[in-house]
Structure 1
Amino acid sequence: MKKNKTCGPRFKMLLEEANITTTAFAEFLNIPKPQNVHNWYTRGVPHYRMEEVAKKLSVNVKWLKIGEGPKDAMELRLLDDSGNTFDAQAMRGAYRVIEPNDVELPFYKEVAITPGELKTHVIRDPEQSIRMLRSDLDSLEINHADAICTRMIGNSMAEKIEDGSLLAIDRGLTQIVDGEIYAIEHDGMLRIKYLHRVPGNALRMRSHNSAEHPDEIFRAAQIDEQNIRVLGWVFWWSTLNKRRPEVPFL
């Protein structure tokens, strides 16, 4: 495992500048033992990890390795699992540190696969994001890299979550806990529902506005046939009062 020990101090400096712990960075790289990353401070980054680490931290790989050339590599682009590009500075494309106390969560939405087509899918919108306090995510034990945001569509969750409300989702929690609210992609359609397990590996989707949106039950075969997948647990939402009150006596 070839290493360059001289890069250790530079690597440490980069993590400190980004306010990222070695434990968090180990998660970004899917390294099970954070101590291995901490050891890079003195032993240097392994040669086979050098390019990956440089991309994650948006720096020139030559600068990281031997301290020569420009430090910044602002034009680096990476691909996420869906083939979408994102800035390397965004750390796995999932969040970006804005201030020591804030992170910026990427925004996902339902859009037509091709213009004018009815078939949709859920993808990231690089033009939108929301800020959240890191402490709020930490208090719920949410990995910052798993948090995304979206917007409520329709009135199925009214008066709990109004149409147009912003939502935050933990992609790290997809296991169904009965009665919790989840974001679901249903054959390309973005849905927000209470979920309940049903015997036989079936699934019940329940709306808060049950008068207009009755319960739906999907058997195991239907879940596969209709491409139903749980995106994650909804842990935060905003609600906008759409009617501005009129001031009397004017």
Structure 2
Amino acid sequence: MKKNTSGPRFRALLRLANITTSGFAEFLNTAPQNVHNWYTRGVPAHCLEEVATRLSVNREWLKTGEGQKDARHLRVADESGNVFDAQAIRGVYTVVEPTDVDLPFYKEVPTATDPNKTHVVEDREESIRLPRSHLDSLEINHCDAICARMVGNSMAEKIEEGSTIAIDRGLTQIVDGQIYAVEHDGMLRIKYLHRIPGNALRMRSHNSGEYPDEILRREQIEEQNFRVLGWVFWWSTLNKRRPEVPFL
């Protein structure tokens, strides 16, 4: 029996159709967590046929990646027994507009070839949900939004260590003084960025007492594989200490 590797293909189909996890879950009348689990575990065998039909792809292709993708000759029956061509109703969904958006999670991990080097990749087992109103109010394309975690205390007291941050990959042009997520020689770093004449760049930490400014010349930007991932537009910070209530 061929292994069920449908998870990545299923997730890619939803993204291509701009359907959120919660939206598709509501369409199937199941819990969003179930759909989220399918990204890594694969669509369960008893749901493969229905999911493939809803997304107008062949069941075998969804399950294994083999064979023809599009269900050009797939025929389905409704509750009354009437038969329809699935391709004719492709893309017709009745989904209640979700109030949240699932953001893929990115993190810094060792490379496969050298454990002493790192790079920034998506963690397919984790995502963060944000109200879609947050993204809409800032005119952020939902497909451009990703999240990560603040490592270290270089941005304290602004963004505490361990905070979850949200990043707009649609805004990589540097606006002086804004906070950006960057991949710097494989490291995930969160910094204020400033342009400097000569195509140079200043990286500034909020905790400037412990982390002095860093200046990257144009040639250093190229040599050190410096890449702006996007603008940081949201972060979560947990208060370090619960306040004591007096007179108790």
TM-score (norm 2): 0.63
Alignment CA distance shift 1:116-1:201 (3 Å)? closer
Q: Deviations over 1:167-214 (max 9, x none)?
A: 000001000000000000000000000000000111100000001001
Identify which range, 113-122 or 131-140, moves more after superposition.
113-122
Q: Which residue of 1 aligns with 2:101?
A: 103
User: Could you tell me how far apart the structure 2 residues matched to 1:186 and 1:139 are?
Assistant: 30
Aligned-residue offset at 1:232: 0.2
1:158 aligns with 2:165: no
Partner of 1:136, secondary structure, is helix
Q: Which residue of 2 aligns with 1:68?
A: 75
Q: Deviations over 1:73-110 (max 9, x none)?
A: xxxxxxxxxxxxxxxxxxxxxxxx99611110000001
User: Could you tell me how far apart the structure 2 residues matched to 1:159 and 1:204 are?
Assistant: 20
Q: Which residue of 1 aligns with 2:116?
A: 118
Q: Which residue of 2 aligns with 1:240?
A: 238
Aligned-residue offset at 1:66: 4.1
Structure 2: runs of 5+ lacking an equivalent = 1-16, 25-50, 59-68, 78-94
Q: 2:204 aligns with which of 203, 206, 210?
A: 206
**Correspondence list, 1:1-250, <5 A:** 58-61=55-58, 65-68=72-75, 100-114=98-112, 117-245=115-243
Alignment CA distance shift 1:103-1:211 (3 Å)? same
The residue identity in structure 2 corresponding to 1:198 is I
Alignment CA distance shift 1:118-1:243 (3 Å)? farther
The residue identity in structure 2 corresponding to 1:215 is D
Aligned-residue offset at 1:244: 3.7
Alignment CA distance shift 1:66-1:17 (3 Å)? farther
User: Could you tell me how far apart the structure 2 residues matched to 1:246 and 1:163 are?
Assistant: 23
User: Could you tell me how far apart the structure 1 residues matched to 2:18 and 2:197 are?
Assistant: 49
User: Could you tell me how far apart the structure 1 residues matched to 2:147 and 2:180 are?
Assistant: 12
The residue identity in structure 2 corresponding to 1:65 is R
Does the CA-based 8 Å contact 1:108-1:124 persist in structure 2? yes
Aligned-residue offset at 1:248: 6.4
Aligned-residue offset at 1:126: 1.0
Partner of 1:65, secondary structure, is coil
Aligned-residue offset at 1:223: 0.2
User: Could you tell me how far apart the structure 1 residues matched to 2:144 and 2:182 are?
Assistant: 15
User: Could you tell me how far apart the structure 2 residues matched to 1:64 and 1:125 are?
Assistant: 30
User: Could you tell me how far apart the structure 2 residues matched to 1:225 and 1:17 are?
Assistant: 39
User: Could you tell me how far apart the structure 1 residues matched to 2:57 and 2:190 are?
Assistant: 42
Partner of 1:224, secondary structure, is helix
Does the CA-based 8 Å contact 1:98-1:104 persist in structure 2? no
Does the CA-based 8 Å contact 1:63-1:69 persist in structure 2? no
User: Could you tell me how far apart the structure 2 residues matched to 1:144 and 1:230 are?
Assistant: 18
